[in-house]
Amino acid sequence: HEHTFVNYVTVLGKVQDQALLDHVFDHFKPTVVFHAAAYKHVPMVERNPWEAVVNNVLATRGLIDTSVRHEVERFILVSTDKAVRPTNVMGASKRLTEKIMQAYGGHNTRFMAVRFGNVLGSSGSVIPLFRRQIELGGPVTVTHPEMTRYFMSIEEAAQLILQAAAMGTGGEIFVLEMGSPVKIVQMARDLIRLCGKEPDTEIEITFVGLRPGEKLYEELITVGEGIVPTDHEKIMVLRAPAAAMQDLEEPLTRLTRLARDHDGQGIKALLQEMVPEYTPQAAAAIFPAARVRQTVAPQGLS
């Protein structure tokens, strides 16, 4: 649904600009911050890991510090299911931001994160890509016949983020009920039919192999995270021990230096140290020996 907002101001800038953040916070004095800025394109971030450090990690830390200095009441970090046992730099960077956020639990600002999967129709999501490929006559490219993802609508994601923000007392990582994971190839088939075409006969589906850092399946919780229901049927909360900020300071300083030097291998090694559950994929596991062009047999609508 579209709403007409009157009392708002748009500021063009980037979250890495500390002077701009201070200017905006000084002028507008926000009481709640929703932090959704991040580089989320997995293969691109995998090839440019220093950008994930600068934008996803260090800029988030700067925004957290700004929120504390300006006495923001609530800070909500929008996270991702890719932070769970990450196999890519993007997911590891988001898991690290969750840990940093929780380490600020001793301040007056209430910090919390909301972790969920893919949002249908958002920038870079699979539906607009499939639509363009169908309009061009195909093929529709799917990574792997067994790949699944969690999805929700933009409206549902926004409503649940707001609800979790109101519920949080500080330090929580909220997990949104995403329903059952969806097979991407079945989504492609359904969309082809919705566009008035038949898969395999009129529009071909091809499998192109996993891209750098991609997983076949996503998860919403990881080992050691205790999940607790809330009063909202679609929101659960994870309880896990928070890291101490003093234990993160020295490795964050090293991470900053590695990003400045554009040392991709060093960044990945240090992220493994800071996020022990991060297991980078080997290059051989990412790229098949040859790109597979395969047509799948017709199936019914789900």
Distance CA 67, CA 242 (A): 19
Check if the beta carbon of residue 165 is closer than 8 Å to that of residue 276: no
57 CB-side CA count, 13 A? 30
DSSP code at position 202? T
- How many other β-carbons are positioned within 10 Å of the β-carbon of residue 180? 8
Tell me, rounded to whole angstroms, the distance of Cα 222 from its chain centroid. Answer: 15
Check if the beta carbon of residue 205 is closer than 8 Å to that of residue 133: no
* Cβ contacts of 166 within 8 Å, gap of 6 or more: none
- φ/ψ region of 224 (left if φ > 0, alpha if ψ in -120 to 50, else beta) reads left
Which residues carry out catalysis?
A: 82
Helix (H) or strand (E) holding 69: helix 59-69
